[in-house]
């Protein structure tokens, strides 16, 4: 079994597309529909977390803050995968603990390349 990735996005089609790409690359993928759903899955230990920014119930920035408070996952790299491209939001994300910021639309190979760099 591959490294475990938590993928968080409120778009079902995005969860499907990214989920398939990650699984085809050998990752074990857990999907969450928003930040609150993701927090409920943090009892598992993940190699990395990929999250959208704009989601209902809990946004990506608040999710990153929750991850960094979680003993199992506080050292897991977080990749922000979002349509948000403003420098102010990027800075907020980095301050919360995001390692990488990928702007949608994106190519799955771009995400896979980042994961390979982060996880070896």
> How many angstroms separate the CA atoms of 68 and 83, rounded?
23
- Asked if 3 and 47 touch (Cβ cutoff 8 Å), the reply is yes
For residue 12, is pLDDT > 70? yes
CA gap 104, 116 in Å, rounded:
19
How does residue 61 score in pLDDT terms, banded at 50, 70 and 90?
Answer: very high
Looking at the predicted structure, is the pLDDT value of residue 117 above 70?
yes
Pair 27, 2: CB distance under 8 Å: yes
All structural domains of the chain: 4-119 (3.40.50.2300)
For the four alpha carbons of 19, 23, 26 and 31, in that order, the dihedral sign comes to positive
């Amino acid at each position: 079994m591959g490294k475990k990735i938590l993928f968080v996005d409120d778009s079902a089609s995005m969860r499907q597309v990214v989920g398939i790409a990650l699984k085809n690359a050998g990752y074990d993928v857990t999907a969450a529909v928003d930040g609150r759903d993701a927090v409920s899955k943090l009892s598992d230990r993940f190699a990395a977390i990929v999250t959208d920014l704009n989601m209902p119930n809990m946004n990506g920035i608040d999710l990153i803050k929750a991850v960094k408070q979680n003993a199992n996952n506080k050292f897991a790299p977080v990749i922000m995968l979002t349509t948000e491209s403003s420098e102010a939001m990027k800075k907020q994300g980095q301050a919360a603990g995001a390692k990488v910021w990928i702007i949608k639309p994106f190519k799955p190979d771009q995400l896979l390349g980042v994961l390979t760099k982060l996880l070896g």
